[in-house]
Structure 1
């Protein structure tokens, strides 16, 4: 059940304590892919995982602006501070818990959100009346995870499978020409680059044309299966806090 489509009485009568909260970003994904790619993918994976799960789970509306200041040189990219993002996610989870959905998987579509989500889900679990864990879809697609990039093959493949009308296919050569091969500028296992514009001309990392719709279908199936497995574990887990030793 997606909260945006439900009535309040539907929600009142829902027989579950499980919820999925998609979070993404509004940021550049090269000249060929929309700014909303990460939020779209998070919501798509959340809905696919909910459909696969053998039980009831609610899907909250996505948090569509995240920790994305690294893309600030590219027009249209929006961001909030990590503090603001953590507090917003915490408040949304609190409101879900208020209605009885107190086991929450935060389904993430943006790499820049990962550190903040690890911190806030731990805080929620330790200090609030809820249990929360983060799930980043592109970290849960097996051997494909190493090909992530940015606006690259994985994100483009999933777009081609789920939102093909939003991919600017006529700009694919432009996207390839301005792309970098890897994320960052690394020396002694340290990334010297703080902003994406320092190492990619057009914001793309990886070859976007290497990701076709068939790969996108495979990615969605793999991510949904991983999320389904996680939901089962969260549903079965004893989430009470251990006593002091």
Structure 2
């Protein structure tokens, strides 16, 4: 069994699982932030947990997946109620504690995986610093958000979605994913939700400086209209394949078909 869910193990079972020298620890890092008027606050955390489990199941070596870190770096969403944003130092301390726990179990390789775009740069820099300051453990982060979004976008188009070039937050891509993973009961009506689609020069910089609400009053980038669970399944499969290939190359892993 390649997917090992750490939260369900006993202490002695965790030690035994880590004795396999090919095992890799995986820390899913989410976010707790607004996703428009139609998607749950926990969307990114829900999706990274699903992604981590699917990736682990595709590997031949044991992948020991920790509990998901439920909040991340979401300061640009704080104008919207319910959003939780950690300070970078706080997220770094959380990661250090989880990495210490995995290291104390006996693991020497750790993967950091996020679904929230605001975490990607941070976890990449954090992993680089770990590899300088902790040479006894290999810490790697999937931190290419542009590639991650491109994979989602291409899979969505292939699945029949009509996407605005700005579709990156609570638009048809993420709405399709949540429809697939959680079903319609967890998604509020979205057919009339209007997000930001213009893609004017500098819009990302304005959003980062002034917050999401300065660009999109609804909190949505793209439009969710046309989202479907079938498209969500295709997008998830594409992301799983992308991360599996990256893990295989990064940690020299084998993968199952």
2:218 corresponds to 1:202: yes
Distance 1:198 1:103, change over 3 A: same
TM-score (norm 1): 0.86
Instruction: Write the distance in 2 (CA, Å) between the matches of 1:90 and 1:140.
Output: 30
Deviation per CA, 1:35-55: give whole Å up to 9, x if none: 000011111000000011122
Equivalent residue, structure 2, for 1:46? 52
Equivalences for 1:175-190 in 2 at 5 Å? 176-177=193-194, 179-181=195-197, 186-187=201-202
- What's the C-alpha RMSD, in Å, of the aligned pairs? 2.2
Q: Which runs of 4+ in 1 moved over 3 A?
A: 136-140, 144-148
Q: Which of residues 128, 141, 163 in structure 2 aligns to 1:134?
A: 141
Q: Distance in 2 between matches of 1:116 and 1:76?
A: 23
Q: Specify whether residues 190 and 198 from structure 1 end up closer, same or farther in structure 2 by C-alpha distance, changes over 3 A only.
A: closer
Give the whole-Å Cα distance in 2 for the aligned partners of 1:162 and 1:225: 17
- Contact kept? 2:167, 2:197, Cα under 8 Å: no
TM-score with structure 2 length normalisation? 0.82
**Residue 16 of structure 2: which of 8, 13, 35 is its match?**
13
State the partner residue of 1:23: 29
Which segment drifts farther, 134-143 or 63-72?
134-143
Instruction: Indicate the SS of the match to 1:172.
Output: coil
Aligned residues: 231
Q: Is the 8 A contact 1:26 1:79 kept in 2?
A: yes
C-alpha contact 2:72 2:85 (8 A) present in aligned 1: yes
C-alpha distance in structure 1 between counterparts of 2:73 and 2:216, whole Å: 19
**Which range is displaced more, 12-21 or 31-40?**
12-21
Q: Summarize the Cα distance change of 1:42–1:5 in structure 2 as closer, same or farther, 3 Å threshold.
A: same
Q: Please give the alpha-carbon distance, in whole angstroms, between the structure 2 residues aligned to 1:234 and 1:191.
A: 31
Change (3 A) 1:125 1:210: farther
Contact map agreement 1:23 1:64 (CA 8 A) in 2: yes
State the SS of the aligned residue for 2:130.
helix
1:101 aligned to 107, 120, 123, which one? 107
Q: State how 1:66-215 maps to structure 2 within 5 Å.
A: 66-128=72-134, 129-135=136-142, 138-139=148-149, 141=151, 143-144=154-155, 148-164=167-183, 165-168=185-188, 171-174=189-192, 176-177=193-194, 179-181=195-197, 186-187=201-202, 191-193=205-207, 194=209, 195-215=211-231
| Contact 1:22–1:63 (8 Å) recurs in 2 | yes
CA–CA separation in structure 2 for the residues paired with 1:211 and 1:58:
33
Q: Which runs of 5+ in 2 are unaligned?
A: 157-164
Distance (whole Å) between structure 2 residues aligned to residue 53 and residue 148 of structure 1: 30
Correspondences of 1:58-69 after superposition (within 5 Å)? 58-69=64-75
Q: Would the aligned equivalents of 1:153 and 1:206 in 2 still touch at CA under 8 Å?
A: yes
Task: List alignment gaps of at least 5 residues for structure 1.
Answer: 238-245
Distance 1:87 1:140, change over 3 A: farther
